[in-house]
Amino acid sequence: MKTFCGRANPTTGALDWVEESEEYDYHQEIARSSYADMLHDTDRNQKYYAGIRAAVARVKARGEKATVLDIGTGTGLLSMMALTAGADFCYAVEVFKPMAEAAKCIVEKNGFSDRMKIINKHSTEVTVGPDGDMQTRANILVTELFDTELIGEGALPSYEHAHQNLVQEGCEAVPHRATVYSQLVESELLWSWGQLQPVMVEGARLAPPPAVTQCAGAHSVCDIQLSQVSPEQFTPLGPLCTMFSLDFSKPVSSAPQSHTSHFPAQASGRAQVVLSWWDIDMDPEGSIVCSMAPSWTYPQPKAAPWRDHWMQSVYFLPTERSVVEGEELSLTVIHDDYSLWYGLQTDSQQVGLKEPPLCRPCCTCHAHLVWNRPRFGELNDGRRTESYVRALRSVLDVDSVCLSVSDGSLLPVFAHMLGAKKVFGLESSRMSKRVIEQVLEANSMKGGMELLEIRADQLSSNDLGGQQISVLMGEPYYSTSLLPWHSLFFWYCRTALAKLLRPGAAILPRSATLRAAAVEFQDLWRIRAPCGACEGFDVSPMDQMVQRSLDFRESREAEPHPLWEYPCRALTLPTAVMTFDFTQCVPEQPINAQGFFPFVRSGSCHGVAIWMEYQLTEEVTISMGLSGDVGEQGACEWSRHRKQGVYFFPSPRQSLGEDGGGGKVSYSFTFEPSSGDISMEFNVASDSA
């Protein structure tokens, strides 16, 4: 059965009514899941297995039957581990129906169906009793309910309910304990993701609005692969603190709580950011530890396990604060049932003050709702600003009438500061319009600039006071963009505005180039690679289910990833595959491009990285992908501001490079103007093919 669905098209800006299978959302959920990543996480799996074996052994040593409750069973892997370790029976709870069905297939395939029951419910709906889902309470509680922030997937309410209703008092728990660690640091890089900094425009200072700098910001965690942030890019101001622990073998509360660590400042600096991660002890003695610590905490960083389903957390303090070496500090973490946040107090501030309030911070300036973390970093990038200012300076004069088409952009402010006669800015929402208005107010900029909350295709000459546009500009940046080519929305806006442009009007950027390179990922390939067997268990039904969902549509599409977090090697030279001329309107006919890029390095080709490069003027180009030349061995440095597209191959393709006989990746791209979609196909072949 198919239904009509209204979907906002991020490239054309139109509301498309498309006929979708009723299974579309189901397949998308599975195709984009992180189950493969977890199954490939050998460190996690082996630590869980060791902890489960030890827990079953402790129960058996007491002369008891081992009854296991596995909450969030997924593939059923942990339950099968428990049964193999000698457990008598397992109740495996999985709320996601497709996953529960896959678990049944996997359990049957591995011969455990007679000692295991899959319960397709949320754990808080599970009942115990003769007519219930469970005959008796369990004496071993096994869970994998964690996210990067530890409690963000509702671990605390689930544990709370389980201890009250589903498990015996004094039960064994795997994991047994979780501990959260945090460190106070100064980091210009990380702080640039949380607050708008002063911007320099040809020597003039554009100050951030006080409402923004004084705002506590959004409370949501910034989860990243912290291993890719070099220790040289931050200064520790305190030791690594043990903030709090949770004992999962005992009743757990989901009520708000606070925990404080006291320490003298290790160095003088600006307290801005808290880095955080957690460990889980699989046994009471803490001899089986699974750590989320970044690789640079290991004596041998390359030996650190890689995982994408659990990363590390960055928290931004409500305001940055100067601290002096030796000064007594108190770092407080507060959590409710789903999230954490931090506060900092100095020794002098604590006199007569109570603990920080148990309420989560929220954004009051709107900027933290309009701009996400990478967007803050982009706006704070001084070199990027210089490029836009240089490009603007080359096309502006005192008679210029400018129109900016980007979301929450400072570009129209720059044009105003550079002396344009009149500047209009189109904003997609009232909130983003208000944020830019605050910037203007904070810098006493009145007159000469007007912000309009209107779509480009609805703009009329009356809205512009009868003036024709001499400079149409965009970064381009749009909050709805996910993939690199979604920013071609600028081209559709330029086409809609054609009649309002002065003859010979400057278009900035004048064009865009879609670039691509075949790559070998250090680790990211794991999220799409089939697993087959995991710790001796056949999980191929899971691979098959994921592949069916990928084949439904996703395998023919690229997906967005911030590649600066995922090291890779370029096996081919970066290649321009399509160019879009913004000085002309969007064509009516499709644009096709075919070709190939030869391998220049040996390695396992996992897929193709795809990004956009904008030619602002003939002299100024901005890359949204590679931020420098590819290294001799293929090392890539990627922009931290935008996500790039990745097209994964179903399985790695071996490249031999120039010295091993060559080979190539052939490609075919088609841009369809009516939908704004870019379809692509790739094929890896040897030179003899």
Question: Once rounded to an integer, what is the mean pLDDT over residues 626-652?
Answer: 94
At 22-64, the pLDDT tens digits run: 555 555 666 666 678 899 999 999 999 999 999 999 999 999 9
What is the C-alpha separation between 301 and 621, in angstroms, rounded?
36
Angle at 395 between CA 391 and CA 396, to 5 degrees: 110
At 167-208, the pLDDT tens digits run: 999 999 999 999 999 999 999 999 999 999 999 999 999 999
Above pLDDT 90, what percent of the chain? 84
**For tokens 């093919």, what's the residue?**
689
Look at residue 549 and tell me whether its pLDDT is greater than 80. Answer: no
Q: Which residues contact 272 (CB under 8 A, 6 or more apart)?
A: 185, 186, 187, 190, 191, 194, 316, 317, 320
Question: Once rounded to an integer, what is the mean pLDDT over residues 152-164?
Answer: 96
Top pLDDT among 8 and 608 is at 608
Strand partners, 530: none
Q: Give the closest residue to 640 by CA, choosing from 214, 278, 212, 233.
A: 233
Q: Of 153, 328, 453, 559, which residue is the catalytic one?
A: 153
Q: Give the closest residue to 391 by CA, choosing from 218, 564, 615, 652.
A: 615
Angle at 657 between CA 656 and CA 663, to 5 degrees: 70
Tokens at residue 126, please?
Answer: 């599970």
Label the pairing between strands 257-264 and 289-291.
unpaired
Strand partners, 262: 330
Tokens at residue 350, please?
Answer: 């604590």
**3-state SS assignment for residue 421:** coil
Whether 153 is a known active-site residue: answer yes
Q: Residue 128: CA atoms inside 13 Å, Cβ hemisphere, count? A: 16
At 226-269, the pLDDT tens digits run: 999 999 999 999 999 999 999 999 999 999 999 999 999 999 99
CB contact at 8 A, 566 and 522? yes
For the ranges 27-36, 101-110, 293-302, 648-657, which has the lowest average pLDDT? 27-36
Q: Give the closest residue to 196 by CA, choosing from 438, 376, 12.
A: 376
What is the C-alpha separation between 498 and 502, in angstroms, rounded?
9
Q: Give the closest residue to 478 by CA, choosing from 621, 358, 642, 345.
A: 642
What is the C-alpha separation between 603 and 670, in angstroms, rounded?
28
**For tokens 């841009």, what's the residue?**
671
At 125-142, the pLDDT tens digits run: 999 999 999 999 999 999
Question: Once rounded to an integer, what is the mean pLDDT over residues 9-26?
Answer: 62
- Over the Cα atoms of the chain, what is R_g? 28
At 349-394, the pLDDT tens digits run: 654 445 555 577 889 999 999 999 999 999 999 999 999 999 999 9
At 213, the pLDDT band (50, 70, 90 cuts) reads very high
Look at residue 653 and tell me whether its pLDDT is greater than 50. Answer: yes
At 70-83, the pLDDT tens digits run: 999 999 999 999 99
Q: Which amino acid is at 376?
A: F
Q: Taking the CB of residue 169, how many other CB atoms lie within 10 A of it?
A: 10
Angle at 627 between CA 626 and CA 633, to 5 degrees: 65
**For tokens 């602002």, what's the residue?**
616
Question: Once rounded to an integer, what is the mean pLDDT over residues 453-479?
Answer: 96
pLDDT of residue 87: 98
**3-state SS assignment for residue 254:** coil
Q: Give the closest residue to 514 by CA, choosing from 595, 460, 448.
A: 595
Q: Of 94, 144, 427, 565, which residue is the catalytic one?
A: 144
Q: Give the closest residue to 578 by CA, choosing from 660, 470, 484.
A: 484
What is the C-alpha separation between 426 and 227, in angstroms, rounded?
39
What is the C-alpha separation between 66 and 68, in angstroms, rounded?
6
Look at residue 555 and tell me whether its pLDDT is greater than 60. Answer: no
Q: Taking the CB of residue 170, how many other CB atoms lie within 10 A of it?
A: 8
pLDDT of residue 351: 47
Q: What are phi and psi of 234, to 5 degrees?
A: -155, 155
Q: Residue 665: CA atoms inside 13 Å, Cβ hemisphere, count? A: 35
680 Rama sector, left if φ>0, alpha if ψ -120 to 50, beta otherwise: beta
**For tokens 């931090």, what's the residue?**
342
CB contact at 8 A, 329 and 347? yes
In 494-625, DSSP assigns E strands to 501-508, 511-521, 533-534, 537-538, 559-561, 568-570, 575-581, 591-598, 603-615, 621-623
**3-state SS assignment for residue 171:** strand
pLDDT of residue 489: 97
What is the C-alpha separation between 477 and 471, in angstroms, rounded?
17
What is the C-alpha separation between 108 and 174, in angstroms, rounded?
24
What is the C-alpha separation between 604 and 29, in angstroms, rounded?
28
Q: Give the closest residue to 372 by CA, choosing from 220, 262, 543.
A: 220
CB contact at 8 A, 623 and 639? yes
Question: What totals of helices (H) and strands (E) does the chain contain, helices first?
Answer: 16, 36
CB contact at 8 A, 665 and 597? yes
SS3 assignment for 449-503: EEEECCCHHHCCCHHHCCCCEEEEECCCCCCCCCCHHHHHHHHHHHHHCHHHEEE
What is the C-alpha separation between 412 and 433, in angstroms, rounded?
12
pLDDT of residue 14: 72
pLDDT of residue 689: 47
pLDDT of residue 37: 87
Show the DSSP H helices in 205-244 as ranges. Answer: 210-213
Name the average pLDDT for the chain: 92
**3-state SS assignment for residue 559:** strand
CB contact at 8 A, 432 and 365? no
**Omega before residue 175 within 30° of 0, cis:** yes
Cα end-to-end distance, the chain, whole Å: 42
At 548, the pLDDT band (50, 70, 90 cuts) reads confident
Q: Which residues contact 320 (CB under 8 A, 6 or more apart)?
A: 191, 195, 270, 271, 272
Strand partners, 261: 331
Whether 101 is a known active-site residue: answer no
